[in-house]
A and B are shown apart, each in its own frame.
Chain A
């Protein structure tokens, strides 16, 4: 058997049939094309959203972090805004002539909702199987309060509490003028010697230098470049954290994107941070790297067993913690997008099958004639299946082109997704959203009795917000899968139609009607 000659008639006949039934071919191919274009868009957009999520997570947790370990604060302990207050006694500060007292206080505590735990957890985790790297950080929030408060002694005499007006303005309250400022920064203590895992892995030095092993115990700080610019702090300047002056040795910027803030405003050697916060040998977060993604769950369970009080989060858990338009997009793509593609894909497959079967029914006499001419079962079935697969291929190529254009359109339209991670709770970071010093939120805080400032509550708990422009990647894999799906649709139609053709008796050639 000369294969080439068989192939020739096969192809000629196939081409003629497809050309002759142009409309049917077009409908089937377009159906499949639209379906796989949709599949392409959905899968590449969801890959894009996943990338964006990873970028947001990485900007907070660093590259290569598979698991983070934190500990949730018990009510009444830790750095929560609720229980932690600035408590000023009436005698604090200096009384001024105008019936106010000048006050200034700074608090360096663990982040709201989290608490620190013993640093030896690091060694416990490092000793676990499949763990290839662990870094510990001490993630703190520094809130400083400064300003003038009404002299409470005087006010008590007049009776009743007072409300400080917006912006701490002059007209606020009957008890005399008051004004105050709240400043807040995130401060992260880092092991200067450990560089492989942790928040600094997604940063690059913008100015000066980053930590070296010899910085341990030194009063030095590295600042987030965006923060440094806002605060007009340059390398070589000093900043005050926890009442101690630290020399700024460098600034770092995020590798995630231009103008994106890194995980914290201020980075310190972890031992210095611990001393300043009065949290000796304590850490708040462990960043754990695992040898293979298939071991992440096992390691996560092992850590949970080792540290029963800890909250162990895998990348997948962390991704769930990403909120904002990013998470909306993510759930939209994963639910609606997936269902829509499945439905459209099934409809396209159904259409292909329907048209093929009706084609076989119409060609009963023709196919019977071929059998009467001595064509084998296999050849007749192959011819029918070949036509369907060819329609699938045409649909596949058209669909990849269509899908490619659609993805291109998505990418060119520059959709910006913003994501925030609840785990890194920032409060009123300058320019970072949330509450700003001296704005309404602070001003509305009621002051009564011994002046107590209890924080702004939930509204102020904006996480680390990152804007990521959606870039939907079209991988070769997606293209191959898309074409494969279209061919699969053609094949499904071919199998059904071929089965029908196989059942036809050669005697159908004698049918008087076509």
Chain B
């Protein structure tokens, strides 16, 4: 999927579900199939990164990089580096359990109510 399609909610969902790091890899600037998708991703990324820092989600846990289909070596390098950093940071502390365990989130209930 194009990086421009990556809703910040996807990234938060991954952390919510217990991911210790999120890595987004996209086409190089100028090479996006949809032309501008990766520029939009870049704007969201910087904003989201600043916001995640306020949630105590450290620098090394969230990364955006450009890797084209022919750059196997870069791909391996970026992944290894990411894994190294996340391992050094250790597991992300979860939010405390909810007093009421619910089968559905608030969003799901509303979606149902409004069709």
Do A and B interact with each other, yes or no?
no
